[in-house]
Amino acid sequence: MEDSRTYLPPEWNNEERMRVLLGPMPKLHDTVARNARVTFWTAAIHQWCKKTNKLIFTLQETLAAFRRGTMQGLCIPDVLVHMNSSGEVIPISELPLGEQPEESWIRWGQRVFLAMPSRLAWNKFSKIIGGSNIEGTTYVNTVTLQEMCDQVMKRYWESATKNYPANLPVALPLLYQNVSDCVGSTDNLHLIVETLAYQGQAATTVHNGTTFVKFLMPGDTSKPIITMADLGKQTYIFVVSAQLYVFVYICQYM
């Protein structure tokens, strides 16, 4: 029976090759074999996340995604540790989200020269002594996340004149209607928008129970700002758009 998982690598149907790749990580002195194993599984995990629009995952989900009959990838935990050390995946608790508050020079110096090096040193030390709990960690694929951020920004500005008034905040439900195929879920879109806000490429606010996002104008370097005037105009547009969407939906089934 043909496997329907479209993200699987070409080697998946090679019995002998996969028996090796699904085995445990080679010994430390066998650097060639270890590097080959890491390269293969890193590419496979990225492909899985990209094909399935999966930004957040756990070790158990990864093992299940690459189960081959009764066999699981015994080296996948080591690969995730490697990907974490290279920043390709990080625990969701460490993902910077939301708009960054203004900070003084003293606070900036403390964060850059004291807090960050101390945290990185502790993370490295805890991995060496085996203190990291990989089984209980939820990871974010930062590579796929950034790709989705770029896609949302590109899609938004490509269709801005048709679907949204230029340089106004857009309601998140309306934005999702136009980017759902490239982000997958509304949870992913929230994560993307909060990441863009942290990067200074978007601003967000909640108004009357609806989240609005305003994107950085192409070629602009200043951080976008959402004003009450923006919200007044866009709330009206969002309500009219929602009513039109419901009307069209009803007409289709009358």
**What is d(CA 138, CA 80) in angstroms, rounded to the nearest whole number?**
11
Whether the pLDDT of residue 252 is over 90: the answer is: no
pTM, entire model: 0.78
Residue 108 confidence class, pLDDT cut points 50, 70, 90:
very low
* Mean pLDDT computed over 138-146: 97
The per-residue pLDDT for 111 is 40
Residue 105 confidence class, pLDDT cut points 50, 70, 90:
very low
Residue in the block written with tokens 């502790």: 122
Pick the closest to residue 80 from 16, 10, 136 (CA basis): 136
pLDDT-above-70 percentage for the chain: 75
**What is d(CA 161, CA 145) in angstroms, rounded to the nearest whole number?**
26
The per-residue pLDDT for 237 is 54
Residue 100 confidence class, pLDDT cut points 50, 70, 90:
low
Whether the pLDDT of residue 124 is over 60: the answer is: no
The per-residue pLDDT for 243 is 53
pLDDT in tens, 170-190: 889 989 998 999 999 999 999
The per-residue pLDDT for 229 is 81
Q: Which whole-number Å values give the CA distances from 36 to 32, 40, 41, 218, 229, in the listed order?
A: 6, 6, 9, 41, 56
- For the chain, list the strands marked E by DSSP: 56-58, 89-91, 138-141, 170-171, 202-207, 210-215
Cα-Cα-Cα-Cα torsion 148, 85, 92, 181, nearest 10 degrees, comes to 20
7-11, 32-36, 231-235: which has the minimum mean pLDDT?
231-235
Residue 155 near residue 179, CB atoms below 8 Å: yes
Residue 195 confidence class, pLDDT cut points 50, 70, 90:
very high
35-49, 99-113, 146-160, 211-225: which has the minimum mean pLDDT?
99-113
Q: Compare 208 and 1 and report the one with higher pLDDT.
A: 208
Give Cβ neighbours of residue 242 (< 8 Å, ≥ 6 apart). 173, 174
**What is d(CA 79, CA 199) in angstroms, rounded to the nearest whole number?**
28
* Mean pLDDT computed over 56-79: 95
Whether the pLDDT of residue 203 is over 50: the answer is: yes
- The CATH class, in words, for 143-252 is mainly alpha
The per-residue pLDDT for 135 is 85
Q: What is the mean pLDDT of the chain?
A: 82
Query: Where are the chain's structural domains?
Result: 1-86, 143-252
pLDDT in tens, 25-65: 998 888 999 999 999 999 999 999 999 999 999 999 999 99
